[in-house]
Chain A
Amino acid sequence: MSPMQAVILAAGEGNRLRPLTRSRPKAMIPVANRPIIEYVIHSLLENGIRDIVVVVGYRKEYVIRYLNQLDVPIQVVVQERQLGTADALRSAESEIAGDFLLLPGDNYISPTSIARIKTERNAMLYTEHPSPSNFGVVVIKNGFVEKILEKPEDAPTFTVSTGVFSFTPDIFGYLRSNEIPDAIAGMLADGEKIRAIPAEDWQDAIYSWDLLKMNARMLRDLAPATSGTVSTTASLRGRVRIGKGTTIGENTVIQGPVVIGEDCEIGPNAVIMPQTSIASRVKIEPFTYLKDSLIMDDVTVGSHSRIVSAVFGQGCILGDHTTTYPKEAFFEVGGGVTKSEFGAVLGDGVRAAPFTTFKNCVAGNNVSIEEGRVVVGLIEDNTRVI
């Protein structure tokens, strides 16, 4: 048998994660300082699968740039218009020679899960999820798929599709519509058997605040390492990873798991609590406290701030005494209402003057906020809060 191939779908925007998807597709959102797709590629490599095709589309330049920097050669195909998953797979057809795995590029899948499916001919990985209506719900009988219901209002079971499949090239004969579940239905109607295999670990972020949970999960596997300059009076406990060029100032306390990228300036006297990811070129000014947060590149957080349960997009500049205040609230996203508890999700380039308080707030890209406001709920891109 020829070595197994894998097709990763990374063309879709993932619009329920707006405002974070303005400059990158969901697969490129960094979680624990690595884009989600990197975990998928890593899991494939762990299983010896090196012949990888990535379908790109939305903001493809950013994806291709990133893929080029990896050590493994990755084949890139472009889906010109984002019509659906089956259409995306169709654009990779010319690169496929035999049996292959199909994986979404914007979910985490563990290496063990892939080991379970890679030797199957027609199979899917499923998992249990407390809110199955956001996914393709799978009805399973005797270890085989009986049917898939795409985002049903009333889900008959809690088993959902992870979007990870193993296929033979016959699948290309079933791609009549633009969605994979239709192709599966076609195969089932023809009497084809599709084995249902439970995934060992799989994570998805449907809404932007779900990234915090995913971030905490990914930080669990963090390999500690310290480069950069760490002050002798700083205290590092637990799993902490610090990139090169980063300075950790005096009396800073870091309680892992925490990952910090390159060329950052943290402290003096900052406190970084568990489940926090800080990307590159980030500046955390003195006396600031961070916990349960995901901070992307080029962010500055002013001194005396308290940041809890927050996602900050690239290049946010927040003045001193910024507070994010986790609170439970209802949000209307993509036509549905959902309940959630988090402090703030800020798009790229948000600027907040000193003494801003974010309370369960999703602020769009380039929002600017004047001094001393309390900002709540959804705020559109480019808004000025005065």
Chain B
Amino acid sequence: MCGIVGYIGRREATPLLIQGLKRLEYRGYDSFGIATVGSEIDVFKKQGRISESEAGTVVLGGSVGIGHTRWATHGEPNDSNAHPHTDCTGRLALVHNGVIENYIELKKQLLERGHIFRSETDTEVIVHLLEENFTGDLLEAVKKTVPLLEGSYAILAVSAHDDRIVAARDCSPLVLGIGDGELFAASDMTPLLEHTERIIFLEDGDIAEISPERVEIYHDGAKVERSVELVNWGIEDAKKGGFAHYMLKEIFEQPQAFYETIRAGISDAVQEMIRDAEEITLVACGTSYHTALIFKYLAEPLCRIPVRVELGSEFKYYPPPLRGLVIAVTQSGETADTIAALKMAKAHNCPTLAITNVQGSTVTRIADTTLMMRAGPEISVAATKSYIAQLAALMEIVNVRCDGKYDDLLQHAHLAIGEVLLQEMQGAVALCREAEHVFFVGRGPFYPVSMEGALKMKEISYVHAEGYAAGELKHGPFALLTPETPVVAICPPGSTYGVMISNIKEMKARRAPIIALGKKGDTELAEIVDIFIPIPDSDPMVQVLTTSVALQLLSYHTACALARDVDKPRNLAKSVTVE
């Protein structure tokens, strides 16, 4: 889950590479580096984030270069483990995203043959292998090297005295952007959008030879054509503008993300697949896992279809019996665990559907069909608008199964989301910022909403938070309730309202401060709790959206009050492309 970029053309490469890496920082920000090609290879690399360091002062000459921003997997984040890595002669440089699983064995052999390693990374074995295979033609060297590698990689390599970049990918993302007399390569489209809208998505096993005027792509030794696609994401979508954080900007883009996903609709092929399903299994990780659980709570009673939700990371090693429709839910379309699970489902002849935000991403290539969410690029590490857009896509599936019963509801749901965005949070933030632990409780679909609320709270504010089904609190976590542990209770009207009120009273009796989300004008609830956050009165499906957004705002403002780095929380990266 690192980010890589490459540039070849007529302009100075360094500022373009640095700019590109800044756009990719969400993929990792432990360290960064660039290499440019002149008569020699010049390398600059450093521990830390680009935006915090003296990146602006990096001056490496040349109009061909590669760059890397790292999320450490093998070897701690420091200057020598930062990419690019060079071979023993200093003629070759390489950046890599992915994990080389057989690197220990390869490294042993290379050491025996006299190579000198300067880092603890798995990546460095690739560049030494390239060195051994290099007889003056970089493309040939890469072609000979990649069959030796096991694991996942997207690599960009350059050699001295050579106006070329050679790229290769397998199980890690890599896209090329075609400019006017110049070419760009990157882990995803975000750095390319400001330069071009013409994108080539490389496929697993592709090796590309990139020169300023053209790209030649090889697959299994033969030259192949890959189509050039036009992408509809504008660069302004990936800019922060005047917002304090990307996360806040993205929170405010949610009404639009929702209605655009709804309006885009579902293709006939996908509709048919959904109608024919007798059973649905969803595979997802992180926030997407929570949206999948919400889908289960909505679809099982409304569409009377059994739904199973599996964590991508568990699925691969403990696969359940596979039958029926398998849906992979992943914002980036690159989540390694989810993709591995999807491949297994395909191997079992299950029909597969991907729900993703990124056109042309790996998951869209593997699944039989794709349902695109229309969230636009999401930069903040904490998922907000992609969560809402995922729910839009999943609710649309429920709607298809119910023959369009919720058309009207879904078409107006974004207005309720817009209304929640106006909500003040000061009182609740004051409680949470002082707390060491915060509990989130709810019932039915609001149980996964609580889990998501807790995930947001821990990931951006670093306050320990857990989400529980309200009824489960008594079976253990109750022991942790004190006057210093706020409980956030989601208590909308409906069949669970009465029992939620009793749960809240029980917690109140243990003197835990209660922050409750309830229907606007619910004075009974407002009177028994410490802080009442009103939610517009609407259908439970819409309340899932509005309560989720209210909890995002709570986490965001708590993180701001604690002066956390909201967009780039410590130790995290946006899309997890390693297992």
Contacts and interface: CB of A to CB of B under 8 A. Distances in A.
A pairs with B: yes
Interface of A: 22-23, 56, 59-62, 64-65, 67-69, 76, 78, 263, 281, 298, 314-315, 317, 348-349, 366, 382
B242 A68 contact: yes
The 6 A-B pairs at the shortest CB distance, nearest first, are namely A76-B242, A68-B241, A315-B415, A64-B242, A61-B252, A64-B241
5 contacts: A61-B421, A64-B241, A64-B242, A68-B242, A366-B536
Given A65-B252, A76-B242, A298 B520 contact: no
A59 B252 CA distance: 11
Interface in B160-205: none
B347 interface: no
B469 to A, nearest CB: 32
Interface residue SS majority, chain B:
helix
Among A23, A64, A78, chain B packs the most CB atoms within 10 A around the CB of A64
A121 to B, nearest CB: 30
B415 A349 contact: yes
Contacts of A59: 422
A311 to B, nearest CB: 17
A61 B248 contact: yes
A202 to B, nearest CB: 27
A298 B415 contact: yes
Contacts of B317: none
B521 A78 contact: no
Contact of A62 (B252, B419, B520): B252
Interface of B: 236, 239, 241-243, 248-249, 252-253, 259, 263, 411-412, 414-415, 418-419, 421-422, 520-521, 536
Contacts of B414: 298
Contacts of A60: 242
Nearest to B249: A65
Contacts of A64: 241-243, 249
Nearest to A60: B242
Nearest to A262: B263
Nearest to B248: A61
A65 B241 contact: yes
Given A23-B418, A314-B415, A67 B242 contact: yes
A263 B536 CA distance: 25
A281 B263 CA distance: 10
Contact of B253 (A56, A65, A315): A65
Contacts of A317: 412
Nearest to B422: A23
B521 A68 contact: no
A281 B242 contact: no
A94 to B, nearest CB: 14
A64 B239 CA distance: 11
Given A61-B248, A382-B520, A382-B521, A298 B412 contact: yes
A22 B418 CA distance: 11
A61 B243 contact: yes
Contacts of B412: 298, 315, 317
B236 A68 contact: yes
A363 B521 CA distance: 19
A76 B241 contact: yes
Contacts of A382: 520-521
Contacts of B239: 68
Contacts of A263: 263
Contacts of A56: 242
B379 to A, nearest CB: 13
Contacts of A349: 415, 419
A347 to B, nearest CB: 11
Nearest to B234: A69
A67 B520 CA distance: 32
B367 to A, nearest CB: 28
Contacts of A22: 422
A22 B536 CA distance: 15
Given A69-B236, A382-B520, A78 B419 contact: no
Contacts of B259: 281
A298 B412 CA distance: 7
A68 B238 CA distance: 10
A80 to B, nearest CB: 12
Nearest to A23: B422
A382 B536 CA distance: 10
Nearest to A298: B415
Contacts of B243: 61, 64
Contacts of B536: 366
A315 B520 CA distance: 18
Contacts of B263: 263
A15 to B, nearest CB: 15
Nearest to B241: A68
A67 B241 CA distance: 8
B252 to A, nearest CB: 5
Nearest to A68: B241
Nearest to A64: B242
Given A23-B419, A76-B241, A281-B259, 16 more contacts: A23-B422, A56-B242, A61-B248, A62-B252, A64-B241, A65-B241, A65-B249, A67-B241, A68-B236, A68-B241, A68-B242, A263-B263, A298-B415, A315-B415, A317-B412, A349-B415
B417 to A, nearest CB: 11
A14 B249 CA distance: 24
B418 to A, nearest CB: 7
A68 B263 CA distance: 23
Nearest to A59: B422
B415 A78 contact: no
B257 to A, nearest CB: 12
Nearest to A315: B415
